[in-house]
Amino acid sequence: GENVEQHPSTLSVQEGDSAVIKCTYSDSASNYFPWYKQELGKGPQLIIDIRSNVGEKKDQRIAVTLNKTAKHFSLHITETQPEDSAVYFCAARFQGAQKLVFGQGTRLTINP
């Protein structure tokens, strides 16, 4: 069935270093892949998304890469800052569906 696997579940990096979170999806026809950041007690906030016709997208310190052949996509955060600490969720929209299927989440901690 439709499935998105996300790794790692927790990630701790030093301030200023880079963080990478990876996701794999099951349906090769998936066409839309957003990433959300969720701070404690708040709703998820869209930080970046990518569509299946693009291999990479960047927005300042955040980038997402997509490998359709391998069915995986990754979030890259460079020059991490304490305010980047949060839970990050990847998601995929499978072809023909309205809904998103979410990964299990990654708790990112930035150590000062």
Query: Which residues would be at the binding site for another protein (CB under 8 A)?
Result: 32, 34, 36, 41-46, 49, 51, 89, 93, 98-100, 102-105
Burial 54-82 (b: 16+ CB within 10 A, else e): eeeeeeeebbbbbeeeebbbbbbbeebee
Q: How far is the CB of 9 from another protein (least distance, A)?
A: 10
DSSP 84: G
Select 78 or 87, whichever has its Cβ closest to another protein.
87
Which of 46, 47, 6 lies closest to 26, judged by CA? 6
Nearest approach in angstroms of CB 44 to another protein is: 5
Q: How far is the CB of 20 from another protein (least distance, A)?
A: 19
Question: Token pair for residue 97?
Answer: 């569906």
Comparison of 73 and 89: residue with beta carbon closer to another protein: 89
Residue 13 or 102 with smaller CB distance to another protein: 102
